[in-house]
Amino acid sequence: MPPPPTAALSSSSSLFLFPLSSYSSPKKTQLGFCPSFPFTKLTNFTPTRRLMTCSAVSIEKETLISHRPHSFLRETDGLDDGSVRSRFQRMIMEVQDSVCGALEAVDGAGKFKEDAWTRPGGGGGISRVLQDGDVFEKAGVNISVVYGVMPPEAYRASKANVTDQKPGPVPFFAAGISSVLHPKNPFAPTLHFNYRYFETDAPKDAPGAPRQWWFGGGTDLTPSYIFEEDVKHFHSIQKKACDKFDPSFYPRFKKWCDDYFYIKHRDERRGLGGIFFDDLNDYDQEMLLSFATECANSVVPAYVPIVEKRKNTPFTESHKAWQQLRRGRYIEFNLVYDRGTTFGLKTGGRIESILVSLPLTARWEYDHKPEEGSEEWKLLDACMNPKEWI
């Protein structure tokens, strides 16, 4: 089968908050970046989805700090002025706290280690990692606020009407939360979620230029074994969050998720999907802020009850070996198709940040094929042939 349009072009599966490119309509330009690295990338797709433009720019290096600040916003933005920037930052901080608190309660023993940092020109982030707990092998929940500059050619490419105007560098702002959770028990699923907001300002020498903004993100489930009641519960929570805003969102974003997390060389999806969206700005901004908030707040009720139910399920070495093989698939996707990960590895980024989304353990076997009709086969079949769960 031909690969989905997003398979080899984008991903938000790692803990980098912003995919480096995203699926979009042929006439629409995408800009994305990874805040842990000096990078900004713009892609402009033709109807044949051919990469047209590529640009890079530096982002200031982070400085570790001993205590998390109240805000990472620049003073010129206002620390709590009711702007979308301020409210989105507040939301991701609150969600990080609520998710970490819920995960520590489920684990019972593991505690999150926190690293906070800032950048000289504004922005910063908080990384939290729980490792080798009673329930979670590895759980990372990161937030980031980033200020940077788009190169002028990226700005020109993003304009709706081509002109001879040559503006200078365009300032941008982005904030997001991203998480990957790997439980120990093979019957408890891995979870990934990521929600982000992006904005550009007018360049200094083109004050009349329009400000651009968009939202992106999603939540997806990656189990090793299928419990239909669990998958239906997870998808029903995603649909409920979507339906509060637009009944077209869930089917649209569910399919987008199935297409997005596609392992081309295996001809299979990474997991059983959820929702995914990017470059979303064709609705009211206040509505989309509320939508992203609703989705982020749905993570705990969608996921924690499943882990609570499965964390103590007895399992065999064979079950664990299958989980390790599926972890191998997760790693393949991250290292082969996740553009933020591969860019970071090639450019000498902070290795702990680059690989924090990966599990502690994984497994590869030569030419492994589960027996047809087995529970392992059923999972693989669902990854190769996405289903409608609700």
Which tens digit of pLDDT belongs to each residue from 164-193? 455 567 788 989 999 999 999 999 999 999
Alpha carbons 293 and 306: distance in angstroms, whole number: 22
Identify which has the larger pLDDT, 99 or 79.
Answer: 99
pLDDT for the residue numbered 39 = 32
Beta bridge partners of 179: 141, 193
pLDDT for the residue numbered 348 = 60
> What's the average model confidence in pLDDT over 323-339?
90
Sequence ranges of the domains in the chain: 63-384
Residues 259-303 pLDDT 10s: 999 999 999 999 999 999 998 999 999 999 999 999 999 999 999
Res. 129: pLDDT tops 80? yes
Which residues 6+ apart lie within 8 Å of 231 measured at CB?
221, 223, 272, 389
What's the CATH architecture for 63-384? 3-Layer(aba) Sandwich (3.40)
Annotated active-site positions, please? Answer: 192
Alpha carbons 307 and 297: distance in angstroms, whole number: 17
- pLDDT-derived band at 329, boundaries 50, 70, 90: very high
pLDDT for the residue numbered 10 = 31
Res. 49: pLDDT tops 70? no
Alpha carbons 23 and 118: distance in angstroms, whole number: 31
Hey, is 365 helix, strand or coil?
coil
| Number of neighbours of residue 245 by Cβ within 10 angstroms | 17
pLDDT for the residue numbered 50 = 30
According to the per-residue pLDDT averaged within each range, which of 13-27, 77-91, 199-213, 338-352 is highest? Answer: 77-91
**Whole-prediction pTM value?**
0.83
Counting residues of the chain whose pLDDT is more than 90, the rounded percentage is 59
Closest Cα partner for 21 from 314, 285, 368, 337? 337
- pLDDT-derived band at 106, boundaries 50, 70, 90: very high
Token pair for residue 10? 């984008």
Res. 134: pLDDT tops 90? yes
Identify which has the larger pLDDT, 331 or 55.
Answer: 331
pLDDT for the residue numbered 207 = 62
